[in-house]
Amino acid sequence: MSLFRPNIDAMDAYKPGEQPPAGARVIKLNTNENPYPPSPKVAEAIEAELKAGAAPGERLRLYSDPMGTELRKAASEATGFPVEQILHGNGSDELLAMLLRAFVDPGEAVAYPYPTYVLYETLAHAQGAKIRTFDFPRDFALPEGLFGCGAKLVFVASPNSPSGTVYPAGQLAELADSLKRGILVVDEAYVEFADANALELARAKPNVVVTRTFSKSHSLAGMRLGLLYAPAPLVAGLVKVKDSYNLDRLSIVAGAAALRDPAWTKANVERVRATRARLARALADLGLEVLPSQSNFLFARLPGARAAERAAGAYRFLKEHGILIRYFPARLLDDGIRVSVGTEAEVDAFLERLKEYLARG
């Protein structure tokens, strides 16, 4: 007999993309990390924190700042949002979990389009929420059904994963207005790679929350850092469900340093965007249908009646040759592959192997 709540027994665990051991000789294009290193200011800030005090690491004796003030101040300087409208998280994943805990009673509805970031489903199940999904059309336009759907919490990833589609702020504002007693969460994990964002909605609307991460544009997936922007009363309520010391001392100084070096982030984002354009052209030349992406990855469908079989085969072939990409054996996704934009050399190696695989027919 299980001691778990029935919804925990019934749900599947979230399956993160493969993380090979550090130092493994693989080209890792499967979890949308940044291929370039973080700002050198980040390591300097971590070193300074470790060296401060009477002995190395002395400050680690003490708990970290529960309110991550230094990080939130840096975010405020970067965006013009007051500190009271900003909350820090152990990755944006923690912030998404806090939103479920704070706003959704078991049995209440959580809605999102399909296919999207799989963690929304995991979190909703863990909370015992009712899940309502609305299929994206083939071009990944926002599904009509989401508007006025009556859910307590609606998630929209913009840019969406795995499609890379970005949704205009005007359309998201309409969606927020249609929700009445519901909250719209705009997950902007990839937004720095896009031409537009919806951050202003977190200032203009009482029911919009925008989440962002340091894992992609700031090259800090390993630090586990995220930020949330929302009206001050929502932030004040969310603080109640937060782990007291959710960020450690090193993460707080690292995140602040990254935000205070916007030129570094911008340069890496520009490089990724340029490589993205080249990769998209090359995949289209190979006969794949490439979704226009505003993110640091591309989703490309294989052509022909055997598309699903060939997409799965491409994933396996590339893996055998030390190149990790993402294949989703799921409805509406199983005919394609998702590939993160790597360095120029990584992308060349990927394209060469993919060409070799496709030539086999």
Ligand X SMILES: Cc1ncc(COP(=O)(O)O)c(C=O)c1O
Residue 101 tokens read as 């805990």
Cβ nearer to ligand X, comparing 128 with 159: 159
Nearest distance from C-beta of residue 91 to ligand X, angstroms: 3
CB of 213 to ligand X, least distance (A): 3
What minimum distance in Å lies between the beta carbon of 293 and ligand X? 13
Token reading at 359: 């030539």
Contact code string over 42-81 relative to ligand X, x by CB under 6 A = ----------------------------------------
**Interactions with ligand X, residue window 276-295 (CB under 6 A):** none
Measured from the CB atom, the residue of 190 and 357 that comes closer to ligand X is 190
- The stretch among 91-99, 194-202, 274-282, 349-357 that binds ligand X (CB under 6 A) is 91-99
Residue 263 Cβ, how far from ligand X at the closest point, in Å?
22
Among 75, 129, 183, 221, binds ligand X (CB under 6 A): 221
| Amino acid at position 196, single letter | A
Q: List the structure tokens of 227.
A: 């930020």
Size of the site for ligand X (CB under 6 A): 13
Binding mask 127-166 for ligand X (x = CB under 6 A): ------------------------------x---x-----
**Residue 91 interacting with ligand X (CB under 6 A):** yes
Q: What's the min distance (Å) between Cβ of 347 and ligand X?
A: 19
Query: Per CB under 6 A, which region of 53-61, 88-96, 230-238, 306-314 contacts ligand X?
Result: 88-96
Tell me: does residue 92 bind ligand X (CB under 6 A): yes
Residue of 117, 136, 315, 357 interacting with ligand X (CB under 6 A): 117
Up-side HSE of residue 243: CA atoms within 13 Å toward CB?
13
Which residues are 326's β-sheet partners? 338
Among 30, 32, 85, 340, binds ligand X (CB under 6 A): 32
| From candidates 64, 122, 163, 215, binder to ligand X by CB under 6 A | 215
- Among the residue ranges 6-14, 57-65, 87-95, 281-289, the one whose residues contact ligand X (CB under 6 A): 87-95
CB of 107 to ligand X, least distance (A): 25
Q: Which residues bind ligand X (CB under 6 A)?
A: 32, 91-93, 117, 157, 161, 187, 189, 213, 215, 221, 226
